[in-house]
Amino acid sequence: MTAPASPERRSELLNTAAEVFAAQGYNATTVRRIADEVGMLAGSLYYHFDSKESMLDEILSTFLTELWDGYDTVLAAGLGPRETIEALVTESFREIDRHRAAVAIYQKEARHLADQPRFGYLADSQQKFEKAWLGTLERGVADGVFRADLDIRLTYRFVRDTVWVAASWYRPGGLHSPEEIARQYLSMVLDGIAVRV
């Protein structure tokens, strides 16, 4: 167990760690690299964290907690399927804006981490995630607002991936705000990129 160091310092260190994990991959990142980046010695990190893995854990769980705060609010709002998708996509881009590094890490590492008991919550989250999106899409098909001629699981993956891969190129403070990017993505996903005839 680690001492209850000042929360600001912890965040600072975690942000740096997340940035490096996202850039180089968790395994390829050395503890020393993180320490260099924050200007301390590798061993000193262990005053603040139990292990490299616990940093990763805290980065991912913090992100997921915030994500689900947002998602749950959306899902509880009683919107129609199309509006729900729109709200979820917008919320997702906001999370990418705020937790870009965490999202990137999540995408690279989630699959193999989920096997470890410590990261079991990743698998749980993935299930909840699928339920929320897939359910909304199914409701939309039933309501006649989404196309019924497409394989629904394929559609699910399409929409899901479409949004989250954006974390791999998104840079906060770029040309477009998260909301603007969400608007364009939604327009593409919902209406396609082809001109209507």
Are 29 and 20 within 8 A, CB to CB?
Answer: yes
Instruction: Pick out residues in 111-170 that bind a copy of itself (CB under 8 A).
Output: 111-112, 144-147, 149-151, 154-155, 157-159, 161-162, 165-166, 168-169
Q: Kindly state the tokens that stand for 13.
A: 């260190």
Q: Toward a copy of itself, which CB reaches closer, 11 or 168?
A: 168
Q: Which of 52, 74, 109, 122 binds a copy of itself (CB under 8 A)?
A: 109
Q: Which partner in a copy of itself, DNA, none is near 47 (CB below 5 to 8 A by kind)?
A: DNA
Residue of 60, 47, 31, 197 whose CA lies nearest to 124: 60
Please give the Cα distance from 64 to 59 (Å, whole number): 9
Question: 169 burial class (0-12, 13-18, 19+ CB within 10 angstroms)?
Answer: exposed
Residue 197: how many other CB atoms lie within 10 Å: 3
Q: Is 41 in the site for DNA (CB under 7 A)?
A: yes
Per CB under 8 A, residues contacting a copy of itself are 23-25, 27-28, 82, 108-109, 111-112, 144-147, 149-151, 154-155, 157-159, 161-162, 165-166, 168-169, 176, 181, 184-185, 187-196
Per CB under 7 A, residues contacting DNA are 3, 5-6, 9, 29-32, 39-44, 46-48, 50-53
